[in-house]
Structure 1
C-alpha cells in the first residue's frame, strides 16, 4: 500500500542528511589557497554546495584558467577526504529514514556529489540498503537542471506531484521547481532559509526532528 500524498521522497545529501557544510566550504577555501589564489569568502563557498564539483568551483573561483580546475578539484578532494571522518549524519537522520521506509515511501538521494563520493558516504553511514535509488552529478545533469529528479521519477513511475524533494539549498529547491515537483527545505544546511520563500516550500524545518515530524504527518 503506497503512502497517501508522496510516493517518492528525494533527499539531498550534504547539509540535509549529512552535516558536511562547514567541511565542504573550508575545503574549497583551502584548495584555492593551495593554488595561490585568493581565499574565497566562506559564505560564497557555502553557496555552491549542492552543485556538481566542477560547476561549484567555476562559480566560486571564476576566471580561473580552464586547465587549472582539475588541479583545484584535486586539492579540494585532498582536504575534504582528509577530514571526512570528522563529520557524520545529523542526529535523528537514521531514525527518520527508517520511519519513512516503514511507511512504504520510496527513498532516493539526489546529490551534487560524485558517484564514488556518495557510495563511500553511504557505506560509512551504513545506509547502502536504505535508499531505493540514487543520482549523482557525474552521471546526470548537475542541479538545478531537472534531469536528476526526472530520472528518479521515471524509475519509479511517479508523477511530479507525487514526488517530494527535500534539501538545504536554493539549488535543491530550484531543481524541484524545474522538475515540477513540490519541495521541503531545511534551514540547518548551506543556505539561509530567508532565501527559500520564492520557491514556495511546503515546509521549512529547523531541525531533523521537525523534518521527521512533518514528513510523518504530511507526506
Structure 2
C-alpha cells in the first residue's frame, strides 16, 4: 500500500483482537469449560461460547446464563480469568493466541504509512491485552488501545469514541475491523465504517451490520486505499 499524497489527513483503523488478529478459541473454550465445571454448571456449547467473544466477561456470563445472580456471575468471571491465565502461562502467548496468517505483515505494512494510525478495541482486560501484545511484540504498532476495564461492553460505542478522541481522527475517516456482530454494531453507533472479517467467530449471517466483509486480511490495505481515494 504505497503512500498517496491525496491521503495526507490522518486515518484510523481500529482492530478487534480475539477472532480478528489472533485465534484464541482453544484457550477460550478450555477456560470457559473450567469455569463452568468449577461452579458445577453445565458447560455451554462451542457455538454459544464463541458467540459471546468480544463482550466483557460479566456481560458474556449474563448471555450464557440468563438471569444469573451476581455472586455466581462473579465466580464464573474469576474462574475463567484464572483458567485462562494458567493456560497462557503453560502454553505461552504464541501457542495460546497465535496470530492469524499474514496479520503481522499487514499490520507492519499499514503502520509504516505515516498518515495511518492503528488501534485496538477489545473485550480483554488491560492485563490480558498487555500480555498478548508483548507476547507477540505488537505493542508499538497501536497508538490507541481500548480495553474492557475502562468502558461499557461492546456494542456500546465508548471504546471507539475514546479512540477517536485520543487520535483526533474524525469518525468518517476511521474504520473498525472485527469478526463479531458486536464490533459491527459498535462501529455503526460510532459513525465509523464497519469491516467484518470472514475468518473469525461469528458467521457471515451475524455480520449483517458490516458495510464490507473481508475474507483475506492481505486485501485490507488496498481496500482502504480505494475507499479513502473515493472520499478524497
Normalised to the residue count of structure 2, the TM-score between the two structures is 0.86
Q: Which residue is equivalent to 1:91?
A: 101
Distance, in Å, in 1 between the alignment partners of 2:84 and 2:134 is: 17
Normalised to the residue count of structure 1, the TM-score between the two structures is 0.91
**SS of the residue 1:113 aligns to:** coil
Query: Cα offset for 1:48?
Result: 0.7
Unaligned runs of 5+ in 2: none
Aligned length: 217
Q: Which residue is equivalent to 1:168?
A: 179
Q: How does 1:174-185 map to 2 (within 5 A)?
A: 174-185=185-196
Q: Please say which of residues 93-102 and 80-89 is displaced more in the overlay.
A: 80-89
Query: Cα offset for 1:216?
Result: 5.4
Q: Which residue is equivalent to 1:113?
A: 124
Q: How does 1:1-219 map to 2 (within 5 A)?
A: 3=7, 7-84=11-88, 85=92, 86=95, 87-104=97-114, 105-197=116-208, 199-201=209-211, 203-215=212-224, 217-218=226-227
Alpha carbons of structure 1 residues 5 and 127: separation in structure 2 relative to 1, 3 Å: same
Where has structure 1 moved over 6 Å in runs of 4 or more? none
Alpha carbons of structure 1 residues 76 and 162: separation in structure 2 relative to 1, 3 Å: same
| Counterpart contact for 1:90–1:208, Cα < 8 Å | no
**SS of the residue 1:165 aligns to:** strand
Query: Cα offset for 1:63?
Result: 2.8
CA RMSD of aligned residues (A): 2.0
Query: Cα offset for 1:38?
Result: 1.1
Deviations 1:125-183 (A, max 9, x none): 10111111101011122111111101111112211111100000000000001111111
Distance, in Å, in 1 between the alignment partners of 2:222 and 2:18 is: 21
| Counterpart contact for 1:29–1:42, Cα < 8 Å | no
Q: Please say which of residues 114-123 and 18-27 is displaced more in the overlay.
A: 18-27
Distance, in Å, in 1 between the alignment partners of 2:6 and 2:112 is: 11
| Counterpart contact for 1:26–1:42, Cα < 8 Å | no
> Which structure's CA Rg is the greater one?
2
